[in-house]
Amino acid sequence: MKNIIFIAPPAAGKGTQSILLREKYNLAHISTGDLLREASLEDSERGQYILNCLKEGNLVSDDITIELLIERLSKDDCKNGYILDGFPRTVEQAIQYETILKDLNKELGVVIFLDIPKEIALKRIVGRQVCPSCGAVFNDQIDISKPKIQNICDICGHELQKRKDDNETTFNIRFETYMKKTEPLIKHYEELGVLYKINEVDKEKVFKQIEEIIK
């Protein structure tokens, strides 16, 4: 099974697609955000540094992020393939990642760019509800994405939550930042011949296209 990198603007659905892929193909889902949050709980100098960065809203250094990523990629569950979520974000990080893969004797795989209109992404953001237990995502403003029972996860029955930064002001900032930083990264992967673009918003159709790519 191919390794997968998702590039996507906020609320493009990469979290949803990652869950579908993980469950059907037994792929490891590696979120650098989750790695950092887990490492921040360590009783160590590294853990304290990460915790301070997260509390203050500062970026964790690339060296630390890459160190955590190497540790995660070295685990047995990545041998069948994995989904990399949240990394790389820049061309510099992409080049560092490619060096890591050579050292670990792993293939780059495919890079999938989920491209959706800004107005649809905004609607998804302000209505997004996330299950803190299983990671399932719902939306209380989109009929087909609403949970069967209000504020309750269809999958595990846990109470759904809304993220504090899921608002229009924060979204606009994140979207513009994404566009500026991601354009060179998309070009980089296009030049390597591993980039696939999906211009679709229906999650079932998106998943079908992803399956065609990885097969």
Catalytic residue flag (residue 89): yes
Helix (DSSP H) and strand (DSSP E) numbers for the chain: 8, 7
Catalytic residue flag (residue 102): no
**Alpha-carbon gap, residue 103 to 48, rounded angstroms:** 28
The catalytically annotated residue of 37, 79, 163, 208 is 163
Catalytic residue flag (residue 124): no
pLDDT in tens, 33-81: 889 999 999 999 999 999 998 888 777 888 999 999 999 999 999 998 9
Residue ranges of domains in the chain? 4-208
The distance in angstroms from the start CA to the end CA of the chain is: 8
Contacts of 165 (CB under 8 A, 6+ apart): none
> For residue 3, what pLDDT is reported?
94
pLDDT in tens, 172-188: 888 888 888 888 999 99
**Alpha-carbon gap, residue 68 to 70, rounded angstroms:** 6
| CATH number belonging to the domain at 4-208, selected among 1.20.1300.10, 2.70.98.10, 3.90.1300.10, 3.40.50.300 | 3.40.50.300
> For residue 179, what pLDDT is reported?
82
The catalytically annotated residue of 106, 118, 162, 174 is 174
The identity of residue 16, as a single letter, is T
Strand, coil or helix: 214 = helix
Q: Which two structure tokens, joined as six digits, stand for 141?
A: 């403003």
